[in-house]
Amino acid sequence: MKLESLLTLKRTIRVIGFDDGPFLRGTGGKVPIGGVVCAGTRFEGMVWGEIQQDGLDATETICKLLLSSKFLPQLHIVLLDGIGFGGFNLVNLPELAHKLQLPCVTVMRRVPDLSAVEEAMSRLPNFQQRQELLRFAGTIYEYPPFFFQVCGEEPEIVAAALHRLTDCGKVPEALRLAHLIAAAVIKGESSSSA
């Protein structure tokens, strides 16, 4: 069922939220990435994988985690904590939405300083490819308290869904839980901020 219909009929929206675990910048190596599945704001399950720090495998890794999981047929929307994981391992948002056949949304706490992002990325290999991935993600929409980019759905429908998927504060529950769990797995306890 489409997101708009679920909202209209006040049905449960099943979502997965992805966040990366804490890592030491500049060390290379693998960074953990966790995806938490929620029915509305209730935890239902998770997937776990690894990406290369500052690599180019985030899109492929998320696709593999979901295409081989029991969760994909139940999902209505995919949320990402920003466009980049493990530093500047950027997601190709249109490709992700196409491969999963689901609306894919990057959620941000504030509008990023894109010139500062590009400046930092310019020190890495494949700079032009990373610039393209940033552009592919498209317009940053502001529907306070949410800032997001989306492929595969209208922004006003996504904004309504984000409100339904957020228990308290400004972060949808699936993303909040993904952040807390990834931190706990790596550090032995969850961090205070999500």
Q: Which residue segments constitute the domains of the chain, with CATH numbers given?
A: 3-186 (3.30.2170.10)
Return the number of other C-beta atoms located less than 10 Å from residue 35's C-beta: 28
Rounded mean pLDDT, 48-58: 97
pLDDT on residue 28: 84
More confident residue, 187 or 80: 80
Q: Is the pLDDT of residue 154 over 80?
A: yes
pLDDT on residue 189: 85
pLDDT class of 116 with cuts at 50, 70, 90 = very high
Contact of 160 with 2, CB cutoff 8 Å: no
Q: Is the pLDDT of residue 192 over 80?
A: no
Buried b (16+ CB within 10 A) or exposed e, 58-88: bbbbbbebbeebebbeebbbbbbbbbbbbbb
pLDDT on residue 26: 80
pLDDT on residue 193: 64
More confident residue, 28 or 93: 93
* Mean pLDDT score across all residues of the chain: 95
Share of the chain above pLDDT 90, in %: 89
Q: Is the pLDDT of residue 85 over 80?
A: yes
Rounded mean pLDDT, 24-39: 93
pLDDT on residue 78: 98
